Amino acid sequence: MRLATWNVNSVKARLPRLLEWLAEADPDIVCLQEIKVATALFPAAEVEELGYEVAAHGEGRWNGVALLSRAGLEDVSLGFPGEPGYAGDTTEPTLIDDPGLRRPEARAVGGTCGGIRVWSLYAPNGRTPDSPHYAYKLDWYAALRTALADELASEPQLVACGDFNVAPTDDDVWDPAVFVGSTHVTPAERQALADLRALGLRDVVPTPMKGPHPFTYWDYRAGMFAKNNGMRIDLVYATEAVAGQVRAAYVDREARKGKGPSDHAPVVVDLS
């Protein structure tokens, strides 16, 4: 069983590379993030042709997640219970007080694939530590923790995959000094990840394939990929029952090369 997670940065712009990659890597379960299309416009037919069932949860210009499976796809959840929304209006400098009025975003899709509960997640960016978006990010993590805790009570085999938008340790960024005062490395964000792990989830750290750090994201600008100035923010958090079956895990850096790549590379996990 091969499981993968990949922030494709627009499924429309990446479709040729996605289809090529699916055929080559041959994963059974795929979590996609930043599909950047409305649910109805997800290229389901092209993906289904490769043998996958599809659960897409999109909203248009931003965000959006999807779950592809050749191992069954049941009990699909678009979003999770208690998931907070965002004010989303740049003219609104603070979060709208009434959570019921906040705009929901497409950041989570869950499904049961061959007995494994799988989540494809795209955490809010946070922008800057003093931004309302950062508060939203922490709220979203708190709600995710509660929702996963509920599922874990009855789901021993669960894996939460995706773009977590947090580098778990200083080893997960190319130069910690560059990130002082930035999001993705703050103690509160790292604590949010630690709180997820405390539910009984293990960080399945992939093999880098090049260099000592298993980075999964490199900015498009300034030759960051060529310099291997990256971050590890795409994670696979698995229960012991799943993590114990991991035979291999790696970052597919090849998918970050060539013409028209995403700025993220897929993380691939092989389970026995």
Partner DNA sequence: ATGCCTTATTTCATAAGA
Q: Does 9 bind DNA (CB under 7 A)?
A: yes
Question: Rounded CA gap, 269 and 93, in Å?
Answer: 41
CB of 253 to DNA, least distance (A): 16
Q: Does 229 bind DNA (CB under 7 A)?
A: no
Q: Does 60 bind DNA (CB under 7 A)?
A: yes
CB of 117 or CB of 119, closer to DNA: 119
Q: Does 112 bind DNA (CB under 7 A)?
A: no
Q: Applying CB under 7 A, which of residues 100, 154, 260, 272 lies at the interface with DNA?
A: 260
Q: Does 220 bind DNA (CB under 7 A)?
A: yes
Residues between 233 and 252 with contacts to DNA, criterion CB under 7 A: 233
Q: Applying CB under 7 A, which of residues 27, 124, 162, 168 lies at the interface with DNA?
A: 124
Q: Does 12 bind DNA (CB under 7 A)?
A: yes
Instruction: Identify whether the C-beta of residue 35 lies closer than 8 Å to the C-beta of residue 105.
Output: no
Q: Applying CB under 7 A, which of residues 1, 10, 202, 203 lies at the interface with DNA?
A: 10
Question: Rounded CA gap, 107 and 118, in Å?
Answer: 14
Q: Does 143 bind DNA (CB under 7 A)?
A: no
CB of 182 to DNA, least distance (A): 7
Closest CA to 168 of 193, 148, 143, 188: 193
Written as one letter, the residue type at 180 is V
Residues between 173 and 192 with contacts to DNA, criterion CB under 7 A: 183-184
Adjacency order of strands within the sheet including 116-122:
74-78, 108-113, 116-122, 158-163, 234-239, 201-203
| Span of 18-26, 110-118, 218-226, 245-253 interacting with DNA by CB under 7 A | 218-226
Q: Does 138 bind DNA (CB under 7 A)?
A: no
Site residues for DNA per CB under 7 A:
7, 9-10, 12-13, 34, 36-37, 60-62, 90, 124-125, 127, 133, 163, 165, 183-184, 217, 219-222, 231, 233, 260, 263-264
